[in-house]
Amino acid sequence: MNMRPTDILRAEHRVIEQVLDCLAVVAARARSSHSLDNESAADLLEVLATFADKCHHGKEEDLLFPALERAGMNPGQGPTAAMRMEHVQGRGHLALMRESLGDESAKAALSFAEAADAYVALLRQHIQKEDHCLFAMADSLLSAAVQKDLVHQFETVESQKMGHGTHQRMLDLASSTASRLNVPFRVAEGVTTCCCRTN
3-state secondary structure of 165: coil
Per-residue model confidence (pLDDT) at position 195: 45
Residue 198 inside a domain? The answer is: no
Domain hosting 140: range is 5-182
Residue 189 inside a domain? The answer is: no
Residue 21 inside a domain? The answer is: yes
Residue 193 inside a domain? The answer is: no
The yes-or-no verdict on residue 198 having pLDDT over 60 is no
Q: CA-to-CA distance for 75 and 78, rounded, in angstroms?
A: 6
3-state secondary structure of 163: coil
Q: CA-to-CA distance for 26 and 5, rounded, in angstroms?
A: 32
- Please report, as a single letter, which amino acid is at residue 196: C
Under a CB-based contact definition with an 8 Å cutoff, are residues 17 and 127 in contact? yes
User: Most distant CA pair in the chain: distance in Å?
Assistant: 54
End-to-end Cα, the chain, rounded Å:
19
Q: CA-to-CA distance for 194 and 8, rounded, in angstroms?
A: 7
Residue 143 inside a domain? The answer is: yes
Instruction: Convert the pLDDT of each residue in 4-38 to its tens digit.
Output: 999 999 999 999 999 999 999 999 999 999 999 99
- Please report, as a single letter, which amino acid is at residue 50: T
Q: CA-to-CA distance for 67 and 69, rounded, in angstroms?
A: 5
For the chain, list the strands marked E by DSSP: none
Per-residue model confidence (pLDDT) at position 162: 85
Query: CA dihedral defined by 26, 30, 33, 38, rounded to 10 degrees?
Result: 80
- Here the CATH number for the domain that contains residue 146 is 1.20.120.520
Residue 192 inside a domain? The answer is: no
- Say which range, 65-69, 74-78, 108-112, 122-126, has the weakest mean pLDDT: 74-78
pLDDT category at 190 given cuts 50, 70, 90 is low
Cα Rg for the chain, rounded, in angstroms?
Answer: 17
Residue 190 inside a domain? The answer is: no
Residue 160 inside a domain? The answer is: yes
Q: What angle do CA 49, 175, 155 make, to 5 degrees?
A: 55
Closest CA to 21 of 183, 158, 193, 133: 183
Per-residue model confidence (pLDDT) at position 54: 95
Q: How many domains does the chain have?
A: 1
